[in-house]
Structure 1
């Protein structure tokens, strides 16, 4: 019986992970540094505080060199801006307490396929619609 629950739990986690993999991106007319500046301003402009900036491009470049893998596939300057909205997070967690698994939220900037992209996760759960709207608004503001 426990084995059946473990298998069901693993399947549920894989389903959640699959949903978290979907991303929406917009091409930014400029380089990654300019895109990062625009994203930072758009987040702060919403009255939000950036908790952390992950310098994923630097990490990929550094570890790629250490492992003889070549340059970063997302560009050397790729970043992920991590932040939260107390009011929207409260709203989505009131709708479904398991939405805690999605907080904090992130917007990334990267150079992929020769283009500067600004992107975000797309949350499939209907209860996450306010987060999708927040992230879409920030990406739109940053890329216009």
Structure 2
């Protein structure tokens, strides 16, 4: 029984560690609007098109009561979705299943009770696609001051 418990704990720890490998997450001491604007500008400065801005906090707040939820998850939260036709094509020529990485997305959000703190996160592709997409996402993050 002890071996089974150990293996379960080990498997759970490995799963938690892997969960962080697919995401880059940064905590900033700036306000939401300035952070969002910096990310948008960094994306557009590369000639990329923002396809959509998903207002996640608004959606969760609007629909929470419909499903009996009372906990506020975000103060503010948006996901900026954008595309690079050239990079997307290269990724999908490598493997058509890389379609799952499109569109690229960067999340900007604030959490209840965290004053003067904004979080920014994005998916970190793995495998050969990472060599194509990671530099773009890192450059956008760097230009936005993340």
Where does residue 133 of structure 1 map in the other structure? 135
Other-structure match for 1:107: 106
Q: Deviations over 1:77-129 (max 9, x none)?
A: 20000111011112211222221222111001011372311110011122332
In the aligned structure 2, how far is the partner of 1:19 from the partner of 1:88? 25
SS of 1:89's equivalent in the other structure is: helix
2:57/2:77 contact within 8 Å kept: yes
What CA distance in whole angstroms lies between the structure 2 residues aligned with 1:78 and 1:111? Answer: 6
Structure-2 residue corresponding to 1:25? 25
Question: Which residue does 1:93 correspond to in 2?
Answer: 92
- Aligned residue pairs total 126
Q: Which runs of 5+ in 1 are unaligned?
A: 1-17
For residues 62 and 145 of structure 2, what CA distance do their matches in structure 1 show? Answer: 28
Take 1:36 and 1:101, find their aligned partners in 2: how far apart are those partners?
24
Contact 1:49 1:84 in 2 (8 A): yes
TM-score, length of structure 1 as denominator length: 0.76
Once the two structures are superposed, residues 4-60 of structure 1 have per-residue CA deviations (whole angstroms, 9 ceiling, x without a partner) of xxxxxxxxxxxxxx8798210122221112111111111101110100000001111
